[in-house]
Chain A
Amino acid sequence: MSEKSIWKPFWSFHIQSTEHWVEEMAKKGYTLSRFQPKFSRFTFKEKASSHQTFSISFDHSQQHPLPKALEEDGWEVLNKQGKWAVYGNANQKEDVKTSIVRDNLETRNSKIAMFWWIYFICIIFSIALQAGLLLPLYLSSEPVTVTRIESPMWIFTYIMFVGQIFVTLIGIYSVITLKKESKRLSEESTQPQIFVNPEAKRTDLSEERRNKFKFGWMYAPDKLEKWLEEQEQSGWHLTHVYKGGFKFQFEKSDTKSYAYNVLFEGREDSSAHAFHKEAGWECVYVSGNTWQKFSVWRQAYSEETEKPEINSDLESKQRAAMRVAKIYTLMFAPIILIFGFNFFSFMLPNALEQGYFSISGIERFNTIVYPLVMFTFLISILRAWAYYFRIRTQAIDSV
Chain B
Amino acid sequence: MTAHTDKVIKKYVPMSETAFYILLSLFKQPQHGYGIVKYVEAITSGRLKLGSGTVYGTITKMLKDHLIVVYANEERKKTYEITELGKVVIQREMTRIEDLYTNVIAHRGDKK
Contact = CB atoms under 8 A, between A and B. Distances in A.
A279 B37 contact: yes
B69 A319 contact: no
Contacts of A191: 76-77
Nearest to A275: B33
B73 A98 contact: yes
Contacts of A207: none
B66 A263 contact: no
A100 B69 CA distance: 10
Interface in A280-315: 281, 306, 308-313, 315
A281 B30 contact: no
Contact of B69 (A67, A308, A313): A67
A296 to B, nearest CB: 13
B72 A275 contact: no
Nearest to B57: A316
B51 A67 contact: no
Given A65-B83, A98-B71, A101-B70, A279 B16 contact: no
B100 to A, nearest CB: 20
Contacts of B30: 67, 69
B5 interface: no
A70 B16 CA distance: 30
B56 interface: yes
Name the residue in B52, B54, B74, B77 with the highest tally of chain A Cβ atoms < 10 Å from its Cβ. B52
A320 B53 CA distance: 10
A324 to B, nearest CB: 14
Interface in A236-284: 261, 263, 271-272, 275-276, 278-279, 281
B34 interface: yes
Interface string A99-135: 1110100000000000000000000000000000000
Given A101-B78, A319-B57, A313 B18 contact: yes
Interface in B34-54: 34, 37, 49-54
B21 to A, nearest CB: 11
A145 interface: no
B66 A311 contact: no
Interface in B19-37: 30, 33-34, 37
Nearest to B78: A271
B63 to A, nearest CB: 8
Given A278-B33, A278-B34, A100 B71 contact: yes
Contacts of B33: 271, 275, 278
A281 to B, nearest CB: 7
A189 interface: yes
A278 B16 CA distance: 24
Contacts of A103: 70
A63 B70 CA distance: 13
Contacts of A100: 71-72
A208 to B, nearest CB: 33
A320 B49 CA distance: 19
A316 B58 contact: yes
B53 A263 contact: yes
Contacts of A320: 53, 57
B49 A308 contact: yes
Contact of A98 (B18, B37, B54, B74): B74
Nearest to B70: A101
B78 A69 contact: no
A278 B77 CA distance: 12
A276 B50 CA distance: 11
Interface in A145-196: 189-191
B48 to A, nearest CB: 9
Contacts of A61: 64, 66
Contact of B76 (A70, A99, A278): A99
Contacts of B53: 261, 263, 272, 276, 309-312, 316, 320
Nearest to A66: B69
B51 A311 contact: yes
B35 to A, nearest CB: 9
29 contacts: A61-B66, A63-B66, A67-B81, A68-B81, A69-B79, A69-B81, A98-B72, A98-B74, A100-B71, A101-B70, A275-B33, A275-B52, A275-B56, A278-B34, A279-B52, A281-B52, A308-B49, A308-B51, A309-B51, A309-B53, A311-B54, A311-B57, A312-B18, A312-B53, A312-B54, A313-B16, A313-B54, A316-B51, A316-B58
Interface of A: 61, 63, 65-70, 97-101, 103, 189-191, 261, 263, 271-272, 275-276, 278-279, 281, 306, 308-313, 315-316, 319-320
The 9 closest A-B pairs by CB, nearest first: A312-B51, A310-B53, A279-B52, A311-B53, A275-B33, A278-B34, A99-B72, A97-B74, A67-B69
